[in-house]
């Protein structure tokens, strides 16, 4: 009998030996303390989920300019690094593994969140449809400032410094957020990138900033500890590409030689859960670990692994409500239902108070 690969088959990720292929997906929860510092509550939340093969933190802005929502934790001040150190210590104390997601939102911000009320930055001066989430409530997006060629090294520098900070904070690796309509994705997709310099137009140019960021991050981390997240067809944050299959086949092909930790792919429309592209084409162009996300269940994940379509699977909403998702999957136990009312902001309720299976059994 040939052993079938399953979610419970260990996997080597760079120098890490992960006990399973179940990943906690990065999720914004807006619970950082004053100064956008990760708190003890955040440390408890992640430590509760340490049995995941890998935890990827919520997006952590690489600068104040990179912030687009209230109370998201940063990775650019000494206090934030100290806060994240508590998180990594708490996860490591439970034998978990944790990467931090490095995030710059680009145009998905608002002057009220920016240093000195400045305009958010983007590849081109194209205003997103919709509203920004601010401390004063929802406010219409503004037309962003199109980055001058001379300003682009400053963006790369923000990621370089953040990568060093992530090392000081004790993470096992970093994930570069190039998905979901944020800055790096705004460069990749032609709906938001109308530049006519070496960062726009041809695919070779649109992928340039991502490659420069990876290069800068690899000053602090070997590439085997750097993951990249993309979302080829996700329209969240009013983004689109005229030829997503070709664009992201190209991205996968050009990331492949870098020997990254993994390529993390949001397969489909994040909010609707629909899927149109052929993700096998992307997977086949990337020689490293392919991590899939978007609407996977235990059954779908096992089938995708066995078909050879994926190597690891990340779970979002299921991880909000089930700190012991690994055990629940292993025992095919019932799952707690997440409450969308407590996703963004608030306190321990809906964050660290979802029950573990053993607590439920003790009460039964």
| Residues acting as catalytic residues | 182
User: What number of chain residues touch ligand 8OZ (CB under 6 A)?
Assistant: 5
- Residue 99 in contact with ligand 8OZ, rule: CB under 6 A: no
- Residue whose CB is less far from ligand 8OZ, 210 or 298: 210
The only residue of 88, 180, 223, 249 in contact with ligand 8OZ, by rule CB under 6 A: 180
Q: Which is nearer to ligand 8OZ, 48 or 293 (CB)?
A: 293
CA distances from 300 to 34, 42, 359 (A): 40, 30, 28
- Taking the C-alpha atoms of residue 282 and residue 268, their distance in angstroms, rounded to an integer, is 13
Instruction: Please report how close the Cβ of residue 251 comes to ligand 8OZ at its closest, in angstroms.
Output: 17
Nearest to 221 by CA among 102, 330, 340: 102
356: phi then psi, degrees, rounded to nearest 5: -80, 155
Least distance from C-beta 347 to ligand 8OZ, angstroms? 18
Distance separating alpha carbons of residues 266 and 295, to the nearest angstrom: 9
> Given the complex with ligand 8OZ, which of 271 and 362 has the nearer CB atom?
271
Query: CB–CB of 11/222 below 8 Å?
Result: no
Instruction: Write down the residue that tokens 């510092």 correspond to.
Output: 37
Task: Closer to ligand 8OZ by CB, 69 or 262: give it.
Answer: 69
Question: Binding to ligand 8OZ (CB under 6 A): which residues in 305-334?
Answer: none
Out of 20, 28, 249, 314, name the contact with ligand 8OZ by CB under 6 A: 28
Cα torsion through 23, 28, 33, 34, rounded to 10: 140
Q: What is the DSSP letter of 6?
A: -
Strands in the chain per DSSP E: 11-13, 16-18, 22-24, 54-61, 98-103, 121-122, 131-134, 137-140, 145-146, 173-177, 226-230, 262-266, 290-293, 312-315
Residue 53 contacts ligand 8OZ per CB under 6 A: no
Output b/e per residue, 323-338; b: 16+ Cβ within 10 A. Answer: bbbbebbbeeeeebeb
Q: How far is the CB of 234 from ligand 8OZ (least distance, A)?
A: 8
CB-nearer residue toward ligand 8OZ: 43 or 108:
108
* Cβ at position 175, least distance to ligand 8OZ in Å: 11
The reply to whether 69 sits near ligand 8OZ by the rule CB under 6 A is yes
C-beta of 132: minimal distance to ligand 8OZ in Å? 11
Q: Which is nearer to ligand 8OZ, 160 or 264 (CB)?
A: 264
* DSSP secondary structure, 79-147, as one string: HHHHHHHHHHHHHHHTT--EEEEEE--TTSS-GGGSGGGPPPEESS--PPSSEEEETTEEEE--PPEEP
- 224-263 b/e (C-beta count within 10 Å ≥ 16 → b): bbbbbbbbbbbbbbbbebeebbebbbbbbbbbeebebbbb
Q: Minimum distance from CB of 75 to ligand 8OZ (Å)?
A: 14
Q: What is the rounded distance in angstroms from the CA atom of residue 122 to the CA atom of residue 238? A: 13
Closest to ligand 8OZ by CB, 180 vs 186, is 180
- Considering only residues 249 through 268, tell me which ones interact with ligand 8OZ, judged by CB under 6 A: none
Among 59, 73, 96, 120, binds ligand 8OZ (CB under 6 A): 59
Residues 149-178 touching ligand 8OZ, rule: CB under 6 A, are none
Distance CA 243, CA 69 (A): 30
Q: In the window 231-250, what residues touch ligand 8OZ (CB under 6 A)? A: 236
- From the CB of 364, what's the least distance to ligand 8OZ, in Å? 35
Separation between Cα atoms, residue 364 and residue 215, nearest integer Å: 53
Binding site for ligand 8OZ (CB under 6 A): 28, 59, 69, 180, 236
């Amino acid at each position: 009998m040939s052993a079938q690969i399953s979610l419970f088959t260990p996997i080597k990720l760079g120098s890490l030996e992960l006990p399973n292929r179940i990943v906690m997906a990065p999720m914004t929860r807006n619970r950082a303390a004053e100064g956008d510092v990760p708190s003890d509550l955040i440390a408890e939340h992640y430590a509760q989920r340490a049995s995941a093969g890998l935890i990827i933190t919520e997006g952590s802005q690489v600068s104040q300019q990179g912030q687009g929502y209230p109370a998201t934790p940063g990775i650019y001040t000494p206090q934030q690094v100290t806060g994240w150190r508590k998180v990594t210590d708490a996860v490591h104390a439970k034998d978990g593994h944790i990467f931090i997601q490095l995030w710059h939102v680009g145009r998905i911000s608002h002057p009220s969140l920016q240093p000195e009320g400045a305009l958010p930055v983007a590849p081109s001066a194209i205003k997103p449809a919709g509203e920004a989430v601010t401390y004063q409530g929802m406010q219409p997006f503004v037309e962003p400032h199109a980055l001058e060629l001379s300003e682009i090294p400053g963006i790369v520098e923000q990621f370089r410094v953040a990568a060093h900070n992530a090392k000081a904070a004790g993470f096992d690796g970093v994930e570069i957020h190039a998905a979901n309509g944020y800055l790096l994705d705004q460069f990749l997709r032609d709906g938001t990138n109308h530049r006519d310099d070496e960062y726009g137009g041809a695919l070779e140019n649109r992928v340039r900033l991502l490659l420069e960021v990876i290069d800068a991050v690899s000053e602090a981390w070997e590439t085997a500890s750097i993951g990249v997240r993309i979302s080829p067809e996700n329209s969240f944050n009013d983004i689109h590409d005229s030829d997503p299959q070709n664009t992201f086949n190209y991205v996968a092909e050009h990331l492949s030689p870098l020997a990254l930790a993994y390529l993390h792919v949001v397969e489909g429309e994040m909010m609707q859960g629909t899927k149109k592209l052929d993700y096998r084409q992307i997977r086949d162009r990337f020689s490293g670990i392919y991590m899939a996300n978007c609407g996977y269940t235990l059954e779908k994940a096992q089938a995708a692994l066995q078909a050879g379509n994926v190597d690891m699977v990340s779970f979002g909403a299921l991880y909000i409500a089930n700190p012991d998702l690994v055990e629940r999957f292993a025992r095919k136990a019932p799952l707690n239902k997440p409450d969308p009312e407590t996703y963004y902001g608030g306190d321990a309720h809906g964050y660290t108070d979802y029950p573990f299976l053993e607590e439920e059994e003790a009460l039964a």
